[in-house]
Amino acid sequence: MTNSPFVMVPRDALRLMNASSRRLGNLRFKLSEADGRFVVDAVETSENTFVDVRPDRAFASLTWGDLTRWGQWARSDSPDLAATYLLLTRRPNGALPFDALHQMVPGTDDPGAISGLLIVSHEDVPPELRAAGMPEFSGWLIERDGVVPFPVHAEPDEFGASQLTGDWPLRQLAQESITLVGTGSIGSAAADALSRIGVGELHLVDPDRLLWHNLIRHRLGPESVGRYKVDALAALIAERDAETNPATRTTLIPHRLDVVEHAELLRPIIQASTVVLCCADGIAPRRVVNHLARLARTSAIFACVLNDGSIGEIFRSRPGRGRGCLLCHRAYLEANGWIDPEADQELGYGTGSSHKPMTAIPSDLQLVGQFAAQATIATLLESRQGMPGSRLPSDHAVIGLRPVAALAGPFGVSAPGEVRWSEVPPPRAVCATCSLT
Ligand SMILES: [Zn+2]
């Protein structure tokens, strides 16, 4: 038995078939022999007139192919054909004689000595067959010893975040604005996650350019070395969204800002945001964001790796909830005699001579970035959309990344993958940041 062919039909080809007044015509395919993939390349729309397929999105792979093959397309309203397709595709090695197919689709070419591909667009399919899983298109490989059904992969009208159904509040998310401070390894993973679920607006804040040593852990690739991370990341996501998420794309606004030097420029950006996600490393930028977010009465999520990359930490600051800010939390750790693993944050990963090498592997930072994006969305949905089901267990999470001796207090995770949530204490009376809210 021949292997089932893998056949793709770009949307433009579907349009050409639908617009034709005929019920049957020829098709030209590009065949990429290396991966056994057929793509419809031209459609016969009227007698002997072939129109080239022009994909309206830049799926480069759809234009690949070293060989040309011919086949046919047909429109059918035969419920028998649909029922036969469903039945045969559910049977191992299901096939039918050519004559049986020819009766249901008159005009089908006799394969003779070579095999042919037929793509059928099904009209007026009875609802019970649709419910049983009958797709819009069926494929038929016509060979001398029988006709074998195969699935047709037709490009849908819509895909991307708009596919997400159920309780996912796409329309509300499209109205939200998030500020992301720090677009390094963790921040770029978070930006990717946030844009994929249809957040309306994402402000990217980072003063740094991408360098070679960033490549191992960053979403950006070698083509972006030397560019500002915020610009390159905004361009990368916008390009991806244009092709794969056209209906719910995120507006990306890059800001080449150092939050410590230009706090006054960050202030209005944070004020206009629903949530701030701070993935910047270094104590100073985190403290500036902590202060500005409280000042703007905006919730903020802080994500980083600590203790030489052996644990990830998510801290959430929410004004008006009776919980302390980042500084209050640090003071609380200190007062309890627990190690403050933030203290080794001041230097970049593995850059200082007295600094232990940063051992977090790329997936550790991706994990923390994705976790932070999840916490950001949960915060946004809980506070703005009144979806209490999204409530996080608490405001401080420590994620085990590497097996190391457990630290004290809330940092005491002992295994990779372990997540420990703990409560954040009330604000200190002396906190200049918390007294703002
Ligand atoms: Zn505070």
Lowest pLDDT segment from 31-40, 238-247, 321-330, 341-350: 341-350
User: Ligand 1 mean position to 329 CA, how many Å?
Assistant: 7
Angstrom distance (rounded) from CA 96 to CA 321: 68
Question: Which position has the higher pLDDT, 181 or 361?
Answer: 181
Q: How many angstroms is it from 302 CA to the middle of ligand 1?
A: 14
* Cα–ligand 1 centroid distance for 279 (angstroms): 19
Ligand 1 centre and the CA of 195: distance in Å? 31
Tell how far the Cα of 390 is from the centroid of ligand 1, in angstroms.
25
Query: Of how many residues is the chain composed?
Result: 437
Q: How far is the CA of 238 from the centre of ligand 1 (A)?
A: 37
Give the Å distance between the CA of 6 and the centre of ligand 1.
59
Question: Rounded CA gap, 9 and 136, in Å?
Answer: 12
Give dist(CA 278, CA 298) in Å, integer: 12
- What number is the average pLDDT over the span 166-174? 79
Which of 125-139, 268-282, 287-301, 339-353 is least confident?
339-353
Is 144 a residue whose pLDDT tops 90?
no
What's the rounded mean pLDDT across residues 295-303?
Answer: 96
What is residue 286's predicted lDDT score, i.e. its pLDDT?
Answer: 96
Residue 163 has pLDDT above 90, yes or no: no
Domains assigned to the chain: 6-154 (3.40.140), 164-436 (3.40.50.720)
> Has residue 398 got a pLDDT over 50?
yes
**d(CA 326, ligand 1 centre) in Å:** 6
Segment 84-131, tens digit of pLDDT: 999 999 998 899 999 999 999 999 988 776 778 999 999 999 999 999
What was the pLDDT predicted at 145?
Answer: 86
Query: pLDDT band at residue 358, thresholds of 50, 70 and 90?
Result: low
Residue 343 has pLDDT above 70, yes or no: no
Distance from residue 431's CA to the centre of ligand 1 (Å): 5
For residue 398, how far is its CA from the centre of ligand 1 (angstroms)?
A: 20
Give the per-residue pLDDT at 59. Answer: 77
pLDDT per residue as tens digits for the range 196-226 = 888 999 999 999 999 999 998 899 999 999 9
The mean pLDDT value for 247-254 works out to 90
Centre of ligand 1 to C-alpha 330, Å, is: 9
How far away, in angstroms, is 434 Cα from ligand 1 center? 4
Rounded (10°) angle between helices 326-335 and 283-295: 120
Q: Residue 258 C-alpha to ligand 1 middle, in angstroms?
A: 23
Checking if the pLDDT of 266 tops 50, the result is: yes
Q: What is the mean pLDDT of residues 31-40?
A: 92
Give the model's pLDDT for residue 352.
38
396 Cα–ligand 1 center, Å: 15
Q: Does residue 167 surpass a pLDDT of 80?
A: no
How far apart are alpha carbons 303 and 399 in whole angstroms? 11
Ligand 1 geometric centre to CA of 427 (Å): 5
In this predicted structure, the answer to whether residue 313 has a pLDDT above a threshold of 60 is: yes
Question: How many Å lie between the centroid of ligand 1 and the Cα of residue 397?
Answer: 18
328 Cα–ligand 1 center, Å: 4
Percent of the chain at pLDDT > 70 equals 92
Bridge pairing between strands 396-400 and 419-422 = antiparallel
Q: How far is the CA of 318 from the centre of ligand 1 (A)?
A: 11
Lowest mean pLDDT among 150-164, 274-288, 318-332: 150-164
What does the pLDDT read at residue 321?
A: 86
Whether the predicted pLDDT of 29 surpasses 60: yes
What number of CA atoms fall less than 13 Å from residue 355's CA on the CB side?
18
How large a percentage of the chain has pLDDT more than 90? 68
Owner of token pair 């109205």 = 175
Where is mean pLDDT largest: 168-177, 353-362, 416-425? Answer: 416-425
Residue 174 CA to residue 402 CA, distance in Å, equals 36
